[in-house]
Structure formats: structure tokens, C-alpha cells
Structure 1
Amino acid sequence: MVLTLGIYYITPWIRWDRGPALPDQAVLVDIAGRRFFFFMIEIWPHEFYFVAGLLIMAGLGLFLFTSAMGRVWCGYACPQTVWTDLFILVERWIEGDRNARIRLQRSRWTGEKIRKRALKWTVWLGIGLATGGAWIFYFTDAPGLLRDLFALEAHPVAWVTMLILTLTTFVFGGFMREQICIYACPWPRIQAAMMDEETITIAYRDWRGEPRGKAGAEGTGDCIDCKACVNVCPMGIDIRDGQQLACITCGLCIDACDDIMGKIGKPRGLIDYLALTDETREREGKAPIPAWRHVLRPRTLLYTALWAGVGIALVVALFLRSDIDVSVTPVRNPTYVTLSDGTIRNTYDIRLRNMEGEPRRFTFSVGEPGYGLAIEGADLPEVEVPANETAHIRLYLSAAAGSALARATRSDLTLWIEGAATTAGPAGGSRVSKDTVFNGKGG
């Protein structure tokens, strides 16, 4: 809980120097600027495949961990679980242990009950407010937004987002809790397809614990039916009834049972992490299979290979991507014009994005001979684009009257764009090309 909440609350406040023209927030989803910053990485809208790749990796990671160890994501890292644990911790601090809370719940509304409930709900609302506040800090400069919030000058979208997240966190973590996992979350239904008889999950050794009875009673098993495992379960299930859809593999029942077994002098592990194959072997008196053999099997190795493959592909694409983004669109109406001297001219709309943190000059050229190139409003075939901006350029290509290019119906060509070197970019500059066509008179 400390680790996951620490990452969530602290990350927007980490600074990262990108120069004067870029934000200095390490992790920022800049919707206004249509960019995503993650430390030294900058993702533009046309590079959404990086985000898609990360989502694929997240899905494969869930498949991998579920196949190997059950719903460990749900039990240890799911936001609903983490915030519910925090709310329960606050509840325990204010209202006492489980028995005290049950007595308080059943008691009449006295001054003491009102005081405790009011204090608990106030702290819960504070947690919800911090949750919503931390979320919106990921989408704009965190210190600046914090000042605007205290000055009551923040954008209405920020206030509405904070209100929605505050109320949902308060209701989901404080009151609905396991109902969200059981009825609203689709993952418990999907996880069944990810698990098999080799998956390590939580199970009750009924061959050792049954029949239940008082400690030391003749003919009974190790389970004394104290219900400690049921009382600590955040999902309200009895693991002794067997594996169930609602179990989130949090392990609290294991800790509670081990504590009781220690007190009555019985071996720990009555409730433990087990695979179905372990149950069969233990019933037959055989030694359990080592945990690493459950984890390292063809299914999990395949998920690991796929997960690693996507990650490697993203890293390679990240290092090979160009710092120039350009699109070339021939103007179709008309496809060409004939000038007074018979020259055939085509017009192209160019969108050129400078992805560096400094202004940059770009030079245009054609890979094939025989073309004249001009840029509207410029004496030379070059333009300067401000840092992190997109320029809209009108470019003209012409072919002399009577030339093969002018007589041909259609000619393929390659347009080259070369960017000058910057202090932030590659030492020798960069160069990209776009294939397009030149339309002649034909015939």
C-alpha cells in the first residue's frame, strides 16, 4: 500500500529538465499540447502505437501473473484493493478492531458514535480528495494547478474531475468495497481462462483440517473452526469451501490461520499457497512440487516471451524513430496547372512537425532529376519551424514544357526533408523521405 500509493501521489511532483520550451514535469499527459511526457521520452499523437504497445504489455502482464499465481494483481496492486485497505486501516484506527466495530455498528446513535463516524468519514473524504487531486496533476503542471486550486482560479474541468473522483473513491473504498470486485469488475470472469491446475493460488488443506473441532479433541483435524480466515477476508468468503471466483489471492486468510495454528501448537500451512496438482500429490502422501516448476511452464514462458517481445519492439522503435514528422498531400483540384510558358506545375500541402525543443530549419529536395521546387512565401526551398510546433507549407513542383515528366500521365517521386542539427537533436541532423506522385498532361 505504501509503495503503490507513494508512486501515485508523488510522481506528478517529480521534476525533469527538458529545456526552456518544454514542461519540466517528469510524467505529464499534456492534452493541450497533444503530447505525453515520461521522463526522457516524449510521445506525440502520431506515435500512439507506443501507448498501444504499453497497454498490450499490461494485458500480457496480467495474463502472466494470473496464470502463474492467480489474482495477485487484485490482491496486491489493484487500485480498488489498495484504497479499500487504506480505508479499512483508517476505520480500524478510529473505531477499533473488528469486534469493536461490530458493537459500534449495532449500537444506538450516541454522541460517541456520531463523533467516530464523523471523524472517519471526514478522513475518508480527505483521502478521496487527495486521490482526485493527484489524478488531475498528471494532466497539467502540478505546482501551477495547486496554486490555482487554492486561489479558486482552476478550470471547471479540474473541479468536476476532482469532485467525481473524490465521491467515487469515498463510496467505492468506504462502502461498496468487495461489491465492486464481485459485481462490477470483469476480471474475475476472465481470470478463469488464465488459470489451470498448475496455477498457484490459495487453498485449504481439508484432508488435514477436517473434521473440525476443538483443539485437542479426539478424532478432529487441525481446524478449530475459529473463523479467523473468514473474519479477515476482504471478500467475505470462506476459503474452506474451496476455490471461489471472489478470492483475490490477498493471503490474509493464510496469515490469520498461521497465527492461530501457532497459538494452539499446530503446524502452519493449513491454509496456504497451493496448486491443484499439489493437492492431489499431498493427498497421496507425495512430496509437493517445487514452486518454480509451477511458475516456469510452457504457458507462462509463452506469456513472458510475448511480453518481452513487445517490450523489445517498443524500445527498438523508440531508438529508431525520427525527430521529424511530415505528411505530404497532393492537391487534387486541379491535379496540375499549365503555366504561361507551358510548364506543368503540381501543388502539395505539407504538414511538417519539429519534434525538437529548439527552432529548426528544414530543407526540401526531390530525389529524382528534372523537377523545379519552390515553397510559397520563401525564396529558398527551406523553412524554419518553431520548437515543438507544426508548420503548414504549400510546396510547388514543376516540370519544363515538353519534358518527359510533363508529358507523362503520372510519375513517382521521392520528396526529401532534411533537418539541421540542434543541440538537443542528433549531431549530424536528420533526414526523412516521403513518396508521392507528379501528375503530367499525359499523351
Structure 2
Amino acid sequence: MSDSQPNAPQSLYAAQEPIFPRRVSGPFRNLKWVLMAITLGIYYVTPWIRWDRGESLPDQAVLLDLANRRFFFFWIEIWPHEFYFVAGLLVMAGLGLFLFTSALGRVWCGYACPQTVWTDLFILVERWIEGDRNARLRLHRQKKWDVRKLRLRLTKWITWALIAVATGGAWVFYFTDAPTLLVDLFTLNAHPIAYTTIGVLTGTTFFFGGFAREQICIYACPWPRIQAAMMDEDTLTVGYRGWRGEPRKNSAEVKAGAEMGDCVDCMACVNVCPMGIDIRDGQQMECITCALCIDACDDVMAKLGKPRGLIDYMALTDEQREREGKTPKPVWQHVLRPRTILYTVLWSAVGIGLVFALFIRSDLDITVAPVRNPIYVTLSDGTIRNTYEVRIRNMQHDEREFVLSVKGDPAIVLSLEGLEGNVVSVPADEMRLQRLYLVAPPGSAPARDARSEVRIWLEDRESGARSYKDTVFNGRGE
């Protein structure tokens, strides 16, 4: 169907057009360099930070120990039954994303998103090897593959591949002792899952950062479509002061004699944009608010002797006020408003709750599960016995002995299967399953009643720390 037909179906996918961002310098570009160095440094260095955890555990500060279902973060140790800490951190991350988006638009996408960080790194490598924008354009448009083009492309791809391998390799170090795994990887003694993970992450990093780039942000990432719900007319985001810049040079209005605006249509803002968009066309889903167009435009304005800010962080309310000749609101009034304050309060509340839970948590953990089949057993002398499965988790780094006792009706007596007395030994950083019996003599109140409330106490013989679980003792119900 030809383009002249009015009812021609519109394609939902636009073919990728190669984008070669030009190098730019300025405060926002410098901020991106700093954040890229910090985030990459944290990612690559963190698994190698050592932390003394005793003889039975790896001396790694940050470790996702999936084999033993534990998470170590410096002095904090999270066990499976404490997953609410991880859930709380995820909630805080979500609220933080909502907060920053509400205040400053897609600053996460523009400065700290892994896709953005690695894409910036890949573009930096590309610029070092092939040259700045014009040189890369000429190389792209060169149809003939001569020795020079092949050398430049292979050098670039090999460098990208090395970065991608380092990215995948760094990720697997978070899941086991990093020095040990490094040796195993080079001696081919590592688990196949480690090699598979490195391979997958190497391939995705190489493709996403080198070739897909803006396509991931536009088509694969859902956040551009969600962000609008987090923003309002007071959100600060990158915008163009069209009332100051228009009409542009060579426009029909200027040719007709109108006074030209500040925009000289130099295309500097477009040439530095990693998404290849023109911010002068208004707010667009593709814009990641990286602010590189601000640096480029401010540089041109400085050369022309005109004030900066033709492209700047601004809100829709600022546009309306400036068009009316009023002074825009100060930045703090955009940042401190009911929506952002609400997000901050919720974020802080979750954080304070997690810190409070971290300080009051016990190093002892006990679970008591009654055996329901049968709910009780009548012994030959008429004694009623209930059976329980008790799980004792020793969260200390040395073996401990724990004393079990029962609190309730004095007639109820506690005993442990396979042990004499009521003392259980649990190895360091392990959980022990112990069968426990509660018995009530014939004729006693617990034996006659259908249900009696009891409390199972657990005490660390060394530290004196105690913990308990409430359960029930089932009798005949006479």
C-alpha cells in the first residue's frame, strides 16, 4: 500500500537509525562521568572487599550465598526467614524512584541506570577508537571494508567484548567467594552455571550497550510509559524555552522580516543526544533527561554572548510564568511539594522500620510445628502425648547449646527424641530439626481438656539469650 493512500496502516516499530553522539563538555556531562565512575567502581570492586566472618564463612563483605540461603552485607547477615528486609529494600528502591522522577523527571534513566552507564562506557570506547561524531559518521557511511575500517571495528568490538566479559564476571563474584571463584574460572574448575551466567551477561551487555542502545530504552524498558504517572506540571525536566528561541535562523518568519530568536538552529542539542531526538520538539517519551543538550546549548550561547538556559531544567509552570513575564519558581518549591513530601515520608518510614527491625532482631530463631497425624497419642498408662517438630536456627558463628523448656500447666512435661535431658547442640550457622514430646499424666487438666495453651522456650546456655513460640497441647476433650 503506497504512502499516498490515506488509510495506510502505521508501523508500530521504527527501524533503528544509527546515532553517533558528539562529544560535549559541561557540568552535566561531568556529573555523568563522576556517577559512571562511582557506579562502575561499586559494581566491579564490591565483591573483592574483605570482611572477617570467622572460619566457617567466606571473608567477603557482600555475598549472596544462595547455596546456604543467606545474604551478607558487611556486618548484616540476612537469613531466609528474614526476607522482609529484602522486600523492604525493594519497596524503598521503588519509592526512591518515584520520588526522584516526581521531582526531577527521568534522572535515574539519564544518570544511574545500568543501560545508560554501560552505553556511555561503550560510546566512550567507540569515540576513543573511531573518533568523534563526524569521523564515526564517515566510517559508517563508507561502504567499502578496507583494512582501516576492519581494524577500527575489530578493535572496538574486542574492547566491548572485554568490558562485557568483565561485567558478567563481576556479577558471579557476588554469589561465592570471589578469589576462590576467580581461580576456579581460570583453571576450568568452576561450576557450569558460573560459565553460563558469564556467557549470558557477556552477550547481553555486548549487544545492549554496543548495538541496541536507545532501542532498549524506547522499546524494552517499561519505565518511559510509567513515568508520566509520577510527574506533574511542577516536575523539573529538560525543556526548551521556545518563547525565547523562536523564530529560528532561516525560518520563514525570519525571512519575512521577524526578529530572530536566540536559537541559531546549530543542531548541537541534537548531535549530542544519545537518543537522537530534538528537545526543541517538546517533551518526548524517548528523552532520558541526561541534560547533555543543556551543556551543548549553553556552550553555543556562551560563544554567541547570549545568556544560558535556552535549554534547561524547567517545569511546565515555569513556562507559563515566563511567557507572562514573571519570575519562575525557585527550585526548592518544585522539589518540596505534597507529592514529593509524601514519597519522602513513606520512604523514610520504611527505612526507619527496617533499621528498627534490624536492631531488635534476635540471634535465636525457633519454629514449632505440631504433628497433626495423630493430634495426640494415648499411652498404655493413660498418659496423653503430643509430638512437635522444632526447628532451631543458630545464627552465631560457633556451635551453641540450647535449653528447651515448656511454660504452661505444670503437669505438662517436655522430652526430646533421641536425647537425654532438654539440651540441644546446634552447629554454627546451621538449623537443626528436633522432635519434641509434651506429655500430660492421666487425669490432669491438660489430658482432659481439648486444648491447652503452652509456650516453648529456647535459651542459649552461653549468652543467656531467649526466644519462644506459642503452641497448643491437645487432650481428650472430655
**TM-score, L = length of structure 2:** 0.90
1:401 aligns with 2:442: yes
Kindly provide the amino acid, as one letter, of the partner of residue 212 in structure 2.
M
How much has 1:429 moved relative to structure 2?
Answer: 2.7
Matches within 5 A, 1:185-334: 185-213=221-249, 219-334=259-374
Aligned to 1:38: 73
Structure 2 CA distance for aligned equivalents of residues 211 and 334 of structure 1: 87
306-315 or 347-356, which deviates more: 347-356
Aligned to 2:201: 165
Could you say what secondary structure the match of 2:193 adopts? helix
Within-5 A mapping of 1:381-400? 381-400=422-441
Match of 2:377 among 328, 337, 355: 337
Q: Percent identity?
A: 70
Task: Choose 178-187 or 20-29, whichever is displaced more.
Answer: 20-29
Structure 1 residue 20 and structure 2 residue 55: aligned?
yes
CA positional deviation for 1:420: 2.5
Q: Which amino acid aligns with 1:251?
A: A
Shift of 1:372: 1.1
For the residues of structure 2 that align with 1:341 and 1:243, how far apart are their CA atoms?
A: 84
SS of alignment partner, residue 202 of structure 2: helix
Of 2, 5, 11, which residue of structure 1 is paired with 2:46?
A: 11
Q: Pick which of 355-364 and 339-348 moved more.
A: 339-348
Letter in 1 for 2:414: L
Whether 2:158 is the aligned partner of 1:117: answer: no
The answer on 1:72 being equivalent to 2:72 is no
Q: Does 1:377 align with 2:413?
A: no
Give the letter for the 1:147 counterpart: V
Q: Deviations over 1:78-110 (max 9, x none)?
A: 000000000000000000010000001111211
- Tell me, in whole angstroms, the C-alpha distance in 1 between the residues paired with 2:126 and 2:461: 61
Question: Which residue in 2 is equivalent to 1:104?
Answer: 139
Q: Aligned partners of 2:302 and 2:372: how far apart in 1?
A: 82
1:147 CA displacement: 0.2
* Matching residue within 417, 436, 455 for 1:414: 455
- Equivalent residue number for residue 91 of structure 1: 126
Partner in structure 2 of residue 363 of structure 1: 403
| Structure 2 residue corresponding to 1:146, chosen from 182, 200, 203 | 182
State the distance in 1 between where 2:477 and 2:326 align.
85
Q: Give the Å deviation of 1:214.
A: 6.6
Q: Secondary structure at the match of 1:197?
A: coil
One-letter amino acid of the counterpart of residue 123, structure 2: I
Report the Cα offset of residue 338 of structure 1. 2.0
Worse-superposed segment, 71-80 or 22-31: 22-31
Q: Deviations over 1:193-248 (max 9, x none)?
A: 00000000001011111111179997211111111100111111100001111111
For 1:102 and 1:292, locate their aligned partners in 2 and report how far apart those are by CA, in whole Å.
42
State the one-letter code of the partner of 2:220: A
Partners in 1 of 2:350 and 2:262 — Cα distance?
Answer: 48
Q: What's the offset of the Cα at 1:371?
A: 1.1
- Aligned to 1:138, the other structure's residue is in SS state helix
1:267 aligned counterpart, secondary structure? coil
Give 2:467's match in structure 1, choosing from 415, 432, 437: 432
| Alpha-carbon displacement from aligned partner over 1:114-140 (angstroms, at most 9, x marks no partner) | 000000000000000000000000011
Partner of 1:134: 170
2:448 and 2:382 map into 1 onto residues whose CA distance is 11
Question: What is the root-mean-square deviation of aligned Cα atoms in Å?
Answer: 1.3
**SS of 1:363's equivalent?**
strand
Deviations, residues 58-95 of structure 1 (Å, cap 9, x unaligned):
00000000000000000000000000000000000000
Query: Paired residue for 1:175?
Result: 211
Which amino acid in 1 is paired with 2:194?
A: A
The TM-score normalised by the length of structure 1 is 0.97
- In the TM superposition, residue 409 of structure 1 has moved relative to its aligned partner by 1.7
